[in-house]
Amino acid sequence: MTDDLLEDAIVRFEEALPHAALSEDARERLSRPASSLKVSIPVRMDDGSLETFAGYRMRYDDTRGPAKGGIRFHPGVTAAEVTTLAFWMTFKTALMDLPFGGGKGGVAVDPKRLSPAELERLSRGYIAAIADVIGPDVDVPAPDVATNELVMGWMAHEFAKIHRGHQPAVLTGKPQALGGIPGRASATSDGAFHVIRTVQPRMLDDVEHPSAAIQGFGNAGAQLAGRLADAGWRVVAVSDSSAAIHDPAGLDVGALVDHKADTGALTDAPVGEEIAAEDLLALEVDALIPSALEGAINGDNAESVRARVVFEVANGPVTAAADRILDEAGVQLVPDILVNAGGVTVSWFEWIANRTGDRWSAEEVARRLEERMVTETAAVVAVADERDLPLRTAAYVHAIERLSRSMDATGTSTLFSDAER
């Protein structure tokens, strides 16, 4: 990932500005991150050697509340990447009307080459390095790429050791035994499902059993595939980093989930036929659902997309250049800051429960998540219709105006007339 990703994100922000009520003060405050931290994390490896890894924590904005955003372990993690992801989180939390700002963090590492003990030492070392800049009222991390509830448990325990006290609200996405909440593991896919079902009558009302191709068969992609199949969709293609599997009649999603759980990959799947990864993006389907990493659909391959609608489950899977190509081709798009907001919404529920000492049932989590996702999806659609905007632009407008109102409410410059300054 390069600085181009951040530039891409800013393009979307700037495209929304002519349609949004944004004060000059708020525009200035959104032009750069509030804080940026780079750390070095020395880790003793199992063979006795010492390796040092680069880690980052970015707080882009905290006007509406503590920064919120995941921690990813990936070889491609850079300062530019976490800045972009924190930028997106700022708008995502505002879009969902959550009392959070935007943050993000990560470590440049290939976690697949680490033993479980090395992974734990790295996780604890990362928290030790950033412990002074996170906290329940400051910045609340969560899982992201290649981190999970086990990693969050290690991190929460390390933070408690450093601060000599149990503070479960410092991290979300934890094991339930350490204050986690039911439904967090499926929150992203559940939220995406509610968005899709809410806009389905608007975009695919003429199709009884819509077809979907899902790029990315990790946690979110696989769970969403299952929910769509149960709802009568035909999931005709899925892919992971090892293979893409296709069956125009519809795949047996359960068989693929079991196969990947057993083997770790989709290669040699018991159903469907393998196709080239790039061919999945070009399938003639009702919905294309990129659920992997950023930039999957770009200026080089967007012209091959033949889906009617693209639902962005991954963060930033469609570049700004691809946006223009898809728009010209009549392909509708539902943006990531709405589609994948289920994760941060359920993280909010966990944060509330941790701070109050309450316990939430799985049923309560599911009910409140569906209610929030449907409400905010309807709000974005209303903005799009009232102002004649694409859904991505409408989502940013909705988020920007919420951010602007919050920023103006805290800015001293609005309290004085020009003569008093």
* 230 vs 234: CA distance, rounded Å: 9
Same domain, 133 and 195: no
Same domain, 304 and 220: yes
Q: Is residue 82 part of a domain?
A: yes
Mean pLDDT of 328-339: 97
* 122 vs 263: CA distance, rounded Å: 26
Query: What is the chain's percent helix, strand, coil content, to nearest 5?
Result: 50, 15, 35
Q: Which residues are tagged catalytic?
A: 104
* 277 vs 282: CA distance, rounded Å: 9
Same domain, 305 and 220: yes
CA-wise closest residue to 37 among 10, 20, 14, 55: 55
Same domain, 52 and 110: yes
Domain C-terminal end among 304, 324, 339: 339
Can you say whether the dihedral through the CA atoms of 98, 102, 103, 108 is positive or negative? positive
**Taking the CA of residue 145 as centre, how many other CA atoms within 13 Å lie in the half-sphere pointing to its CB?**
26
Can you say whether the dihedral through the CA atoms of 152, 73, 395, 24 is positive or negative? positive
Q: Is residue 223 predicted with pLDDT exceeding 50?
A: yes
Q: The pTM is what?
A: 0.92
Same domain, 155 and 64: yes
Q: Can you tell me which residue has the tokens 């799947």?
A: 269
CA-wise closest residue to 181 among 385, 355, 406: 355
Token reading at 222: 């696989």
CA-wise closest residue to 222 among 292, 317, 124: 292
Same domain, 151 and 235: no
Same domain, 197 and 109: no
Question: Mind listing the pLDDT tens digit for each residue in 122-153?
Answer: 999 999 999 999 999 999 999 998 999 999 99
Residue 204 · residue 389 · CB < 8 Å: no
List, as one string, the DSSP characters of 273-317. EEE-HHHHHT---SEEEE-SSTTSB-TTTGGG---SEEE--SSS-
Cα radius of gyration (the chain): 21
Q: Which amino acid is at 399?
A: A
**Confidence category of residue 3, pLDDT binned at 50, 70, 90:** low
Residue 280 · residue 213 · CB < 8 Å: yes
Q: Which CATH number belongs to the domain containing residue 253 in this structure?
A: 3.40.50.720
Q: What does each C-alpha distance from 199 to 209, 247, 394, 410 come to in angstroms?
A: 15, 25, 14, 35
CA 359 to chain centre: 25
Same domain, 247 and 297: yes
Same domain, 68 and 191: no
Quote the number of domains for the chain. Answer: 2
Q: Is residue 64 part of a domain?
A: yes
- Per-residue pLDDT, 31: 85
272: left (phi over 0), alpha (psi -120 to 50) or beta: left
| DSSP 8-state class, residue 290 | E
- Give me the domain span that covers residue 69: 31-169
Same domain, 191 and 100: no
Same domain, 160 and 252: no
Q: Is residue 187 predicted with pLDDT exceeding 60?
A: yes
Question: Mind listing the pLDDT tens digit for each residue in 254-310?
Answer: 999 999 999 999 999 999 999 999 999 999 999 999 999 789 999 999 999 999 999
